[in-house]
Structure 1
């Protein structure tokens, strides 16, 4: 009887690890959309650093990390127009300020989504933001994606203007992270 009891205890403690797998971040895409009366600017953030790089997928879904940190090098923000890119990175404080950063303060899960709250720092100013990240499975890939809006004025970023027309204050940020086993 004690042999059976020991076997059951060992089995029960090993079951969660049998049904979990490590997922590694393979691709991170962070894009922004700024609207000017003459043009909608679609930009991409390259060279992004995300931590943690590995998450655990278990029987109850994707395990919530204690903390998410994201760093975007300002010099790697591209909009498809070099002159505009120079103005964008200058208005973000470059070269004095080299990164835009986000650090989560809380993450809560509900079905296939996480509500992520944290501090976004742009041009030395930190503001609290909240975003809902949807978690989807596409074949072997696990994808976290979502969006949120910020105001340039909240971060003392000068709104671009051209021919007496000024861009809208609101900028939409979209993100998509692809994790693979």
Structure 2
């Protein structure tokens, strides 16, 4: 009887240990590293092309299974007034267009990872949909990106074209309307999460 009870306790202990360790090895959460990440907004005008760099990013990614790149959640937040061009007058026009007095952040939240395809060596191509919120307007977008899960971190890289007017953002103007910007933007990102 004593041997039977001892064996049951050993099996139960191993089962509990397996449940806790398998959960830790399978489900993982990574936090965005602002210093190593980059997000650029590229646009055009009737004078020259322009670029904004996001200086303040935060966010998280959660995997159901890291080895298979089964993504549970992604949340990325950009501080709107951290988008800088290196020219204060352009930055002021950008902040006005983005209504940063009322809307401090730009956010992306994953809704669904529709497909994940392995490219080999810990790199995956992901097709997803998510909610992008700019200047207080939320819009569901499709977003394709690559995920590299090597080296104890996750690196998301990709780009997305958007139209400012879809988010009720009026393209900025300068010099009393003499300089006008195009409605279409390209967002390029390399997001490092550890």
TM-score (norm. length: structure 2): 0.73
Residue equivalent to 1:177: 191
Change (3 A) 1:61 1:160: same
Q: C-alpha separation between the residues in 1 aligned to 2:113 and 2:45?
A: 33
Per-residue CA shift, 1:10-31, capped at 9, x if unaligned? 5986885686576553343221
Q: C-alpha separation between the residues in 2 aligned to 1:100 and 1:24?
A: 17
Q: Does 1:32 align with 2:41?
A: yes
Q: C-alpha separation between the residues in 2 aligned to 1:96 and 1:179?
A: 29
Change (3 A) 1:57 1:179: farther
8 Å CA contact 1:70, 1:101 repeated in 2: yes
Change (3 A) 1:73 1:61: same
Residue equivalent to 2:135: 123
Aligned-partner SS, 2:91: helix
Change (3 A) 1:92 1:143: same
Q: Does 1:110 align with 2:116?
A: yes
Aligned length: 177
The aligned runs of 1:60-99 (5 Å cut-off) are: 60-65=67-72, 67-99=73-105
Q: Does 1:156 align with 2:163?
A: no
Stretches of structure 2 that go unaligned for 5 or more consecutive residues are 118-123
8 Å CA contact 2:93, 2:173 repeated in 1: no
Q: C-alpha separation between the residues in 1 aligned to 2:66 and 2:173?
A: 51
Aligned-partner SS, 1:39: coil
Stretches of structure 1 that go unaligned for 5 or more consecutive residues are none
The aligned runs of 1:138-149 (5 Å cut-off) are: 141-149=153-161
The aligned runs of 1:14-33 (5 Å cut-off) are: 16=22, 23-27=30-34, 28-33=37-42
Over the aligned positions, Cα root-mean-square deviation in angstroms equals 3.2
Per-residue CA shift, 1:81-102, capped at 9, x if unaligned? 1111011011111212222222
